[in-house]
């Protein structure tokens, strides 16, 4: 029998195994859309609370992603370029939010921002209550999602040849100009990928957000609330609309990223 490089038995078995994973991801989502009932779906579409929660979720997640980038990108660059004592420890600290349960992260954050904490009492003196605020939602989102941005950007900066940065230096560029005009544009793809991942992870966060701010409700909390109070039929349309909105956003972001 003639040997075919494209249809080797190993590849066929691997493709079938991979197919199981794809079905595992697609089937529940597809099932959710297929079991939607038209009246509930259309009434949910016009539900002001749902619209507001989606807007709130997307807006806060986008905002914290941009604010976090201002701090995270310099850190990612240092981690990519410099060796220093305790670097491994710092990298482990950055990965902590990925490994700890998000409800535990919420509890930790709640202690950090409650009125009897340093930050909470300072905010309180300004007439602000952090617990149950948009700021708390943003902090919870940032806490659980920032490792994705830092790690992706760090990998991107690491892949930029040091030679190009040195060349820019010998051409008169300061270290900051080297970063802004050579390293950052060359690592752009990884940085954007990190921003998208952070944004996505932030807006889908439930565990940490629900502990620091049940109200105002983000969409993941609203889905839980509807499920808890009224059951699956009322939670499903909200979930489907949120998934559809996020899918549309990510298709656009993917297309932009490819460009």
Binding residues for another protein, per CB under 8 A? 161, 163-164, 166-174, 177, 181-182, 185-186
Contact 165, 178 (CB under 8 A): yes
Separation between Cα atoms, residue 214 and residue 106, nearest integer Å: 11
The least CB distance from residue 84 to another protein, in Å, is: 17
The least CB distance from residue 73 to another protein, in Å, is: 17
By C-beta, is 13 or 162 nearer to another protein?
162
The least CB distance from residue 188 to another protein, in Å, is: 8
By C-beta, is 96 or 167 nearer to another protein?
167
By C-beta, is 54 or 191 nearer to another protein?
191
Separation between Cα atoms, residue 137 and residue 145, nearest integer Å: 12
SS3 8: coil
Phi, psi for 2 (deg, rounded to 5) = -70, 135
The least CB distance from residue 185 to another protein, in Å, is: 5
The least CB distance from residue 161 to another protein, in Å, is: 8
By C-beta, is 94 or 182 nearer to another protein?
182
Closest Cα to residue 186, out of 210, 168, 206, 204? 168
By C-beta, is 81 or 107 nearer to another protein?
81
Phi, psi for 35 (deg, rounded to 5) = -90, 10
By C-beta, is 74 or 185 nearer to another protein?
185
Q: CA distances (Å), 58 to each of 44, 48, 66, 144, 243, in order?
A: 18, 16, 12, 16, 12
The least CB distance from residue 207 to another protein, in Å, is: 40
Separation between Cα atoms, residue 112 and residue 127, nearest integer Å: 17
Contact 196, 250 (CB under 8 A): yes
Radius of gyration of the chain (CA): 22
């Amino acid at each position: 029998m003639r040997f075919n490089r494209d249809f080797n038995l190993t590849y066929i078995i691997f493709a079938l195994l991979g197919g199981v994973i794809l079905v595992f991801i697609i089937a529940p989502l597809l099932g959710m859309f297929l079991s939607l009932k038209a009246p509930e779906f259309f009434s949910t579409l016009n539900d002001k609370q749902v619209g507001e929660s989606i807007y709130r979720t997307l807006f806060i997640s986008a905002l914290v992603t941009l604010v976090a980038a201002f701090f995270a990108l310099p850190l990612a660059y240092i981690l990519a370029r410099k060796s220093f004592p305790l670097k491994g420890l710092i990298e482990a600290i950055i990965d902590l939010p990925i490994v700890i349960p998000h409800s535990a992260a919420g509890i930790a954050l709640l202690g950090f921002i409650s009125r009897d904490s340093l930050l909470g009492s300072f905010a309180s003196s300004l007439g602000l209550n952090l617990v149950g605020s948009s700021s708390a939602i943003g902090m919870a989102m940032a806490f659980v999602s920032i490792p994705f941005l830092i790690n992706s950007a760090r990998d991107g900066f690491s892949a930029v040849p040091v030679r190009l940065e040195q060349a820019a230096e010998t051409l008169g560029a300061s270290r900051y100009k080297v970063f802004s005009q050579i390293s950052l544009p060359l690592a752009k793809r990884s940085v954007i990928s990190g921003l998208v991942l952070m944004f996505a992870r932030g807006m889908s966060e439930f565990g940490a957000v629900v502990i620091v701010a049940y109200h105002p409700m983000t969409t993941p909390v609203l889905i839980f609330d509807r499920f808890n109070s009224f059951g699956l039929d009322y939670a499903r349309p909200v979930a489907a609309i949120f998934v559809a909105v996020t899918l549309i956003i990510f298709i656009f972001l993917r297309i932009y990223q490819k460009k």
